[in-house]
Amino acid sequence: MSDKNALVPSQEKGGALELGGDSQDFVTANIGKQLFGIPVLTVQDVLGPQRITRIPLSPPEVAGSLNLRGRIVTAIDVRKRLGLRDREDDDPGMSIVVDEGGELYSLMVDQVGEVLSVPKKAFEQNPATLDPRWREFSDGIFRLDKKLLVILDVTRLLDFTSSVKQAG
């Protein structure tokens, strides 16, 4: 909670008119101890635990598919995608549904936080030493008080062909 409190001032600043064009809004999510951000406009929905149908033979990062109000959504295990280990507790986690090229994907994360408005001047490029896998999926970093917000590049996160090529 402390991080959220720390962010309140920046949100207030973001709300101020003169700074309106200088900040960006992100839906935040926790995976492990890391805070991630997804541009708010790409997000369709935030879901609690869902019944997911496994898809045999699919890439391991694909957790399965689920029904979101009559539309079929492909669930992506972001932990696996980032090369993290599975969670040890059996907290079912939450999902952020994004639209990518007309298809819906549900990004499975540990916890979905609030929507943050962060000042653009807090933006940093990916550090050159970042894990290449992370570097591929990260659009950059925002320096927040006490925390760093990694911005997920949803398009690349969902582009399985390029990572296959990389692997090969």
Given the rule CB under 8 A, which residues bind another protein? 51, 53-59, 62, 64-67, 69-72, 74, 101, 103, 105, 158, 160
Query: Minimum Å distance from CB 125 to another protein?
Result: 28
What is the gyration radius of the CA atoms in the chain, in angstroms? 16
Alpha-carbon distance of 23 to 18, in angstroms, equals 10
Query: Minimum Å distance from CB 136 to another protein?
Result: 16
Nearer to another protein, 41 or 72 (CB): 72
Nearer to another protein, 103 or 145 (CB): 103
Three-class secondary structure of residue 46 per DSSP: strand
Nearer to another protein, 126 or 155 (CB): 155
Taking alpha carbons only, the member of 111, 104, 121 closest to residue 14 is 121
CB neighbours (10 Å) of residue 86?
A: 7
Nearer to another protein, 29 or 63 (CB): 63
Query: Minimum Å distance from CB 64 to another protein?
Result: 8
Element (H, E) at 165: helix 160-167
Can you read off the two tokens belonging to residue 17? 């008119």
Alpha-carbon distance of 134 to 75, in angstroms, equals 19
Nearer to another protein, 24 or 74 (CB): 74
Query: Minimum Å distance from CB 72 to another protein?
Result: 5
Query: Minimum Å distance from CB 100 to another protein?
Result: 9
How many helices (H) and strands (E) in the chain? 5, 11
Three-class secondary structure of residue 125 per DSSP: coil
